[in-house]
Structures are given as C-alpha cells and as structure tokens.
Amino acid sequence: KQEVTQIPAALSVPEGENLVLNCSFTDSAIYNLQWFRQDPGKGLTSLLLIQSSQREQTSGRLNASLDKSSGRSTLYIAASQPGDSATYLCAVRPGETSGSRLTFGEGTQLTVNP
C-alpha cells in the first residue's frame, strides 16, 4: 500500500527566505506526482504536476523535483512571501490502471512572517 510522508509538518520562515518542502513515497511505481496548495477552509489549488518520466517542473517561484527511484519529491519556493502561507500537499498517482486514486501526504503547514 502506498504511503506518502511530508516533512516537516509545519514550517515558519521570515519573508524572503528560500525554502524546501519534502515529500516521500514508499512505492516508486507511480504515474505522476502533484503538488497542491490549500488555504484554511478552502479547496486545493494545483501547483505543479510532474510525470514519472520528468525530473522537475517549474512555475514562477516554484520548482518541483522528482526522484522516482528513491521515492522523493521536493517543492522549492524561492523568495518566500507572506501570501505563500498555506498548507502544501503532495499526492501521488499509482501506475496501475486504477490511476484516479490519489494518495495524499498529511501536508506541510507553511507560515511566512513579514
């Protein structure tokens, strides 16, 4: 059974700092991995989707990497801003045909202080 772990569970940084969020998964047979952002009481916003054949994806100040063989992904946020404060979730999609079941990590709650 796939398990997804996100470390740290919570992170507080001063504005302007570059930071890395970690996601690890136990079964490397994934099809892709998706990073989401969730503000309190709101829905999930998709940030980046990395296919299993890709090593990284970039969008603005965000860069996500994937090392499928070691079961790891990182989300790098450059020059953090208070508006980046949210919970960040990673989710993996299995490689088998029933590929709609995302397995989520517990999330990292990020606070960026002005």
The contact set with other proteins (CB under 8 A) reads: 31-32, 34, 36, 41-46, 49, 89, 91, 93, 97-102, 104-107
CA 39 from centroid of its chain's CA atoms: 14
Among residues 42 and 55, whose Cβ is nearest to other proteins? 42
CB 92 within 8 A of CB 25: yes
Among residues 17 and 106, whose Cβ is nearest to other proteins? 106
AA identity, residue 4: V
- Residue 67 CB, nearest approach to other proteins (Å): 20
Listed in order, strand segments (DSSP E) in 41-85 are 44-51, 56-59, 62-67, 72-77
- Residue 31 CB, nearest approach to other proteins (Å): 5
CB under 8 Å to 53, separation ≥6 — which residues?
none
- Residue 86 CB, nearest approach to other proteins (Å): 13
Among residues 17 and 31, whose Cβ is nearest to other proteins? 31
- Residue 35 CB, nearest approach to other proteins (Å): 11
CB 42 within 8 A of CB 35: no
CA distance 82 to 98: 38
Among residues 79 and 101, whose Cβ is nearest to other proteins? 101
